[in-house]
Amino acid sequence: MKVALQRFLASRKAIWVAIGLGLLLVTPSLTVGLVADDWLQLLVARGLRPFAGLPASRLDLFSFAGHDPATIQPLVDAGLFPWWTDPSVKLAFWRPLASLTHLADWTLWPNAAWAMHLHNLAWFGLALAATAAVYRRFLDGWSVGLATLLYAIDDAHGPAVGWVANRNAMVAVAFALPVLLLHDRWRRQAWRAGAVVAPVWLGVALLAGESSIAVVGYVAAYALCLDRSPWRARLASLAPYLVVVVVWRVVYHALGYGTAHSGVYLDPGSDPAAFLRALPSRAAFLLTGQLALPWSDLASLYPFISAHAARVMLLAAFATVALLAALFAPLCRRDPVARFFALGALLSVVPIASTFPADRLLWFVGVGAMGLLARWLAAGPRGVVPVAAASLMILVHLVLPLVALPVRSRSMDAVRTPLMRANASLPPSSALAGKTLIAINPPSDFFLGYLVLLRAAEGAPLPRARWLATGTSAVRVTRQDDRTLLVRPDNGYLAYVSERMLRDLRRPFTRGDEVRLTGVTITITDVLPDGRPAEIRARFDRPLEDPTLVFVKWGTTGYVPFVPPPINTPVTLTAISFLEAVFGK
C-alpha cells in the first residue's frame, strides 16, 4: 500500500490529480457572490461615479485611498471613510495585469458573480500548475506529487480563491514562479538568455501584484543554497533582479502608488523602523498559520477577546515557530534543497508582513513551506518526537484541508452576511435620499463604510454617512445644545489596530483639532497621552431633530433608531462585541 502510494505520487498523473482535487475543493466559492472591495471595483470598472474621490481610470482597481491626495476629503465626506482618516493617508496599489482580469469580468459577464468566481478558479489552476512546475524542477521521487498535493489542498488558499477582489494573489503566483524556473535554467544549464529573460519576466510579474517580489527571495535562496558557481558569480546573478526591483519601485512611486500614514500597512522602504518593529510578531503568526494552527487571520481578533489573550497567542506563535525550526533543522543542515525551500519561505514572509497577518497572503510562503514539508516527510522522520510531529503534519495538511478548504473558500460569506444584515437594518435608500445618516457606534469602520459602497453598487440613492465613534467600548453621548453632541468612548478612539487602517498613531491629534465635513464639524475636545482622541464635539449645521438627520445606533446584530438625549442628560451606549456583531445570528 505504502509503496503503491509512493509510486503514484512519483508519477506525472499525481500532479494533475492534485490540481484537480484542489480545484474541486474550492468549488463552493462559486456561490459566494460579491462582497466588500468587489463593490468598489464594480464602481470603478464600470466607470460609475456616485460620489467624488473614486479612481479615474477603469484599470486603477486597487487604489483604495490617496492615489490622488485630493480624493481623501471627498471620500470622508461621502461616508466611505471615518472622520479620523489622515488627510495624507495612502493605500494605492499598482496591479494593472490583475486589473485587466477584473475589467474582463465587468465587460464580458457584468451581472454574473459566479462567472467571476469561476475566473478565480482558472487562475487558481494556473497558480497550482506553476507551483507544480517548481516542485518538478527541484524535488525528486514521490516528494514531487506530495508537495503538489500539500500545496493544492492548503486551506490557506481558500479565502483568496473565494474573494474576487483577491484574485491578484493567484495572478502574481502564476506570473512570478516562472522567474525561478528561468533563473534555474540560466544558472544550471548555462542558458545565457535567462540572464535577461528572467529579470524582464520579473518586471512583468510585478505588474500583477506587489507580492511577486517574493520570488526574488527564492532566487536569493537559490544563489545561497543551490547555485554551485563561485560566490562572486552567485551574488552577481542577483544584480539584474535588484535593478528591476529598484526601477519598478521608482516608477511605482512616481505614478503615485504606495502606502503611507496607515497604522496597518507599513512600507519597509520608506518606514523601515516601524516595519522592523512589526515584523517579528507578524512573521510568527504567518508562519504558524502556514505550517501549523491556528490560522493567521485570527491574530486580528485576539485583541477583541482581551489584551491577555493577544499576548498569550503571540507567545504561542513564537513557540510554534521555534519548535518547527528545531524539527526541520537537521534536514536543512544536510540537504541543500530543503535549505532552499526553507530559506525561500522565510524570505517570502518579509514582504507580506507589511500588513496585518492573514492566510490569504501566504501563497508564496506556501511554495517553500510545502516543498520543505514534502522533503521532510519523504526523508522518513525517525524518533518518537519527529514521528509524532509527522502524524500531526499529515493530519493538519492532508486530512483537515479536505474539510477546511471548501469551508474557507466561502469565508468571505462571513463578511458578506453581517454586512448584508446590517444593511437590511437601515432604512431603505428611498427613505434616506437627500438625508444624512449618522451612526453613533458601529462595531467597526466596515459596518458603515462598506454599506455606502454596497448601496452605490446597487445603484441606490445615497445619503451622506457619518459615524461618530466605534462601539467596541461603551460610548457616552451628551447633548450640549440643540445642534451639538459630545461623544466619549470609554477606551478612546483608535483603540484597536483594526481601527487604524487610515490613521497612524504616530500622527496624533491635539486638543482643538477640527475636521470639517458637509453638515457637521468634528472638534477634538480631549486627547489621551498617546495622542488618540478621548472625546469629540460634533456640531451640526441644523437642529438634531431636523428630519434630514437620521440617527442610528448599533443594536445586537444591526442598527436601530437613536434619539438624541435631552440637553445635559448623558446617555451611555453599552460596549459591543465585535465578534458577536460579525458572527451573531
Query: Nearest to residue 314, comparing CAs of 283, 345, 271, 358?
Result: 283
Residues 327 and 464 in one domain: no
Both 347 and 421 in a single domain? no
Residues 121 and 250 in one domain: yes
Say if residue 236 is in the same domain as residue 310: yes
Question: Tens digits of per-residue pLDDT, 429-477?
Answer: 999 999 999 999 999 988 999 999 999 999 998 899 999 999 999 999 9
Q: Please tell me what DSSP assigns to residue 66.
A: -
Q: Are residues 507 and 444 in the same domain?
A: yes
Are residues 145 and 263 both part of a single domain?
Answer: yes
Name the residue type at position 513. Answer: D
Exposure pattern of 191-219 as b/e (b: 16+ CB <10 Å)? eeebbebbbebbbebbbbbbbbbbbbbbb
Query: Looking at the domain assignment, is residue 66 inside a domain?
Result: no
Q: pLDDT of 470-514, one tens digit each?
A: 999 999 999 999 999 999 999 999 999 989 999 999 999 999 999
285 in any annotated domain = yes
Q: Is residue 64 situated within a structural domain? A: no
In terms of domains, do 178 and 235 share one? yes
Position of cell 511577486? Answer: 212
Res 583: pLDDT: 86
For residues 177 and 561, give the distance between their C-alpha atoms in angstroms, rounded to a whole number: 53
Structural domain includes residue 265: yes
Domain match, 310 and 398 both: yes
Asked whether the beta carbons of 373 and 291 are under 8 A apart, the reply is yes
Pair (428, 320) in one structural domain: no
Q: Which pLDDT tens digit goes with each residue over 52-106?
A: 999 999 999 999 999 999 999 999 999 999 999 999 999 999 999 999 999 999 9
**353 and 418, same domain (yes or no):** no
Name the pLDDT band for 585 (thresholds 50, 70, 90).
Answer: low
Structural element, H or E, at residue 561:
strand 559-561
Please state the φ and ψ torsions of residue 166, each to the nearest 5 degrees. Answer: -100, 15
Same domain, 158 and 218: yes
Query: Taking residues 534-549, what's their average pLDDT?
Result: 98
Residue 557's pLDDT band (cuts 50, 70, 90): confident
The DSSP symbol for 298 reads G
Q: CA-CA distance, 209 to 443, in Å (whole number)? A: 31
Identify the pLDDT of residue 3: 86
Count CB-CB contacts under 10 A for residue 61: 27
Query: Residue 344's domain spans which residues?
Result: 2-31+93-408
Amino acid at residue number 311:
R
CA–CA gap between residue 510 and residue 491 (Å, rounded): 17
Instruction: Identify the three-state secondary structure at position 480.
Output: strand
Cα 87-89-92 angle, rounded to 5 deg? 135
The count of structural domains within the chain is: 2
Domain ends where: 383, 408, 433? 408
Using H for helix, E for strand and C for coil, what is the string for 154-190?
A: CHHHHHHHCCHHHCHHHHHHHHHHHHHHHHHHHHHHC
Is there a domain that residue 444 lies in? yes
Q: Which amino acid is at 277?
A: R
**pLDDT-based confidence at residue 298 (cuts at 50, 70, 90):** very high
Does 164 have pLDDT greater than 70? yes
Average pLDDT, the chain: 96
